[in-house]
Structure formats: structure tokens, C-alpha cells
Amino acid sequence: MDDIKQNCIDFFFKGPGNEFNVKSLYFQDCPLSVCLHGQAPYEHLHGDTAIMETLLGCTFRIVPGNFFQVNVAAAEIMYEQIRQEAGFTKDSILLDLCCGTGIVSIIMSPHVKKSIGIELLQSSIDTAKQTAQLNGVTNVEFIQGKVERKLRLVTHNLKGAEVIAIVNPSRGGLGRVVLDEIRRCKSIRKVIYVSCKPMGRPLFNIMRLCQSGETLGKPFLVNRAIAIDMFPHTRHYEVIFSLQR
């Protein structure tokens, strides 16, 4: 194994792989197709310990295991479109569900009164807080925990506020409990739902948010759906759904 690691270092930093301009090289002995750091720790082999990336004027520190859009040029277009669809005002409260490393909250922070991000992984929350500090952002709050457990506590304190929810969940979409809590919170008048697999579970999420029935709260209506070519030369794409009630 030590020989394999050294061969990787030699190839990317001294040999033919040098032309790829690799900045940071990590090794993970992963017994599954995908493993988190806790399951199989990342071992730094060579180069920088993190990659610094700039997105819409904000600086992000990227380490293994942290999500970041691979196509920065398209990501800037997508986040700018999200901002336009949200229509923030100086009194807006951004509810950033499944916030990951806080990309949306930090980018949108100059346009809102406050942003509240909820994310399951503690490592992502830690990175989000560090990134906010790195960019001098003070009007954000990041909460660790399951969205379905934390959302009701958060929305209880947002009664009467101007709340806009932005969700960018995994391909599995949001759970029914989360969707119903969004419906019940009268302060949430607009939802921006971002999905990289819109024809899967997320489509049923959209239908749930728009389903008639006052027992869940007033339903949303889809205003627009905007496709972003985040993955050129593949059949995959991102879609921004703009919902309002």
C-alpha cells in the first residue's frame, strides 16, 4: 500500500500526471463504493491540504468529503438565478434546508436579513461556520441535525416573518415530514427547490408541496422551472423550481 501511495505522488507531481496540475492529493482506503471520512479516513499524501475556490465573490475552502459544485462557471449562473427567483428584500429570512457546507447561505447573505441553515452532518456544519468567518459573514446561523426534527423548532420562531426556503437535497429528495412542515409554516411564502435529478423523487416532492388540502396549509404553485447545464456532454442537468403561494 505504501508503494501505491508513493506511485500516486510520483505520477501526479513528478511524472506524466504533472500536466493535470493537481493541487491536493488524498488517499482513502474505501471498502465500499462511497465512504464518509468516519468510515474510511482521508489520508493527505501531497500538496495543499485544501483547495480554495471563489464563487460569486465568496471564498470557499474545499476538503475531501465536502460538497462543492464541480462546474464553477455554471454554478455562478445557477446561484444568481436562484437569487433572482427568490426576490429577497432587506427583511427576508432565508431558510436553507439541507444546507451542506453553507454555500447558499453565504452567497445570499448580503441580500437577506438573516439566513438559517440546517444540515445533518456535523463536519459540513463546521465547514460552513469556518467559511462564514472566512468571508466575514455574520448574519448566518447553522444548525446541526435532521431537518425533520429541527425545522419545526425553527419555524415556530419565524411566525410573521418574511421567509423564503431554498432546498437542494440529495437525489433522494426531502422526506414527507419536512414537506408537510414547510406547508404548515404560513410564513414560508416561497420555496426554491433545486434538483440534479428532477424526474425522480424530487418530482413527487414538488407534487406534495402543490397538493390541494388546507389541512396541510395553503398549497404552493410552480411559477417556473429553469434548467441549468451543470454537466455538459452528459444527460444530467440541474433544475430550479420556483414555487409560491
Catalytic residues: 196
Per the listing, cell 476538503 goes with 63
In terms of Cα–Cα distance, which of 74, 96, 243 is closest to 168? 96
* Helix extents (H) in the chain: 2-13, 72-86, 103-108, 122-134, 147-156, 176-184, 201-210
- Flag whether 69 is marked binding: yes
CA angle at 88 for the pair 83 and 92, rounded to the nearest 5°: 135
The C-alpha atoms of residue 197 and residue 11 are separated, in whole angstroms, by 36
Q: What are phi and psi of 71, to 5 degrees?
A: -105, 90
The C-alpha atoms of residue 80 and residue 77 are separated, in whole angstroms, by 5
- Flag whether 119 is marked binding: yes
Contact 90, 101 (CB under 8 A): no
- Flag whether 168 is marked binding: yes
Contact 112, 92 (CB under 8 A): yes
Q: List the beta bridge partners of residue 227.
A: 239
Q: Residues forming the annotated binding site?
A: 69, 119, 168
Annotated binding site for S-adenosyl-L-methionine: 69, 119, 168
